[in-house]
Amino acid sequence: MTAEELLGQRKARIRRAVGWQSPDRVPVVLQYSGFAAQVTGTSMADFLGSPQRNLDTMLAAYDRTGPADAINYGAFWPYALCYDFMARVKVPGVELADDDLWQVAETELMPVGDYDRLLETGWPAFFRDFMQNRVLSGIPAERLPPAWKFADALGAWADRGVPVLSGGNVTTPVELLCGARSLPCFFMDLFERPRKVARAMDEMVPHLAKNPVRRALKLGYPAVWVGGWRSAPCLLSPEMWDRFVWPYFRQLVAEVTAAGLIAILHLDSDWTRELARFRELPARSCIMALDGETDILRAREVLGDHMCLMGDVPASLLYLGTPAEVGDYCRRLVAELGPRGFILHSGCDIPANAGLENVRAMLASVAP
């Protein structure tokens, strides 16, 4: 089969899973970054040192694991996390030792008075100034655009017959403000100045999905990632979650799916309490990607055929388990959640220290 034929077959398999159509088998998708460096014997500093080296290492890791139906993102740039968290990131080979993992260095970069400035200037101007002068200002120029010229990840993976799913990230207002203010300060804001926080979020949300959606459509990606971690229900009361999370999350997902894109709901931490609310999202247009904290079997029970589930092989199992244990866990997921409306996937990223044979066992578990 040619790479073009494989690409079409795998895209169709993913689309059938999202649409709850009968598949030839359950699809399996890979998501990794640091694992690529570890499994290829590349230092983290080298892995992150140039766009082409990064992409080549990601591809080499795929060649070692065996075939999968898609890769969630095809290249990794650590400073993209700055835009998801509104926080600084420390990188191996820059601030950290060559084989360390990158680290989000969350501090209170946004003083409380900046809520007023955000409302006065508008979100686009505030965000540009904040990122340039408070987040990115200390990063070496060669690590940032225009000096950092991104490689053609979509084309390189297509040459192997592998679709890249996510064409961009949409981060909700909670996550951005929480990262900029820091978690303790932001959670106090929810108690001490809830109206101002809500006004800031109302100003932010119309702007958050536009560029990722435009980019995905222009380049031909099938999906956009909509993420949540500090917005998980386990961290907020039902009343606060209803006010500060769900209206904005729902609006952003609707914007993504209205453009004809799949919304990959990347839900870190435990969302079990509010699973029923996801029935309010467009049917068979989203992938709920779980990391092992949310009860995935309960998610199927609550959501039925409304939404495709993706997950949730735990990082601990991929690192500490045996290939036999990984295979048993994966086959149980396939049996209980498949064959329709399910994609096998790691719980969030495959960890950097995962065993290669464990990842291979995950991929082999879906073989007919």
Q: For position 66, what pLDDT does the model report?
A: 86
242's tokens: 């209803």
Is the pLDDT score of 76 beyond 90?
yes
218-269 pLDDT, tens digit per residue, is 999 999 999 999 999 999 999 999 999 999 999 999 999 999 999 999 999 9
Q: For position 367, what pLDDT does the model report?
A: 81
Is the pLDDT score of 103 beyond 80?
yes
Residue that is written with structure tokens 């006010």 in the block: 243
Q: For position 40, what pLDDT does the model report?
A: 98
Instruction: Identify the sign of the CA torsion 223, 229, 231, 232.
Output: positive
195: three-class secondary structure by DSSP: helix
159: three-class secondary structure by DSSP: coil
364's tokens: 């082999």
Contact (Cβ atoms closer than 8 angstroms) between residue 210 and residue 128: no
280-311 pLDDT, tens digit per residue, is 999 999 999 999 999 999 999 999 999 999 99
Element (H, E) at 29: strand 29-30
- Mean pLDDT, to the nearest integer, of 70-98? 97
Q: Which residues of 184-193 are buried (b: 16+ CB within 10 A; e: fewer)?
A: ebbbebbeee
d(CA 246, CA 324): 39
Nearest to 249 by CA among 221, 280, 220, 270: 280
The four Cα atoms 121, 124, 127, 130 give a dihedral, to 10 degrees, of -50
Q: For position 222, what pLDDT does the model report?
A: 97
- Mean pLDDT, to the nearest integer, of 100-129? 98
- Mean pLDDT, to the nearest integer, of 132-156? 96
Burial class (CB in 10 A: 0-12, 13-18, 19+), 141: exposed
Domains of the chain with bracketed CATH: 3-364 (3.20.20.210)
- Mean pLDDT, to the nearest integer, of 272-287? 98
pLDDT band at residue 102 under the 50/70/90 scheme: very high
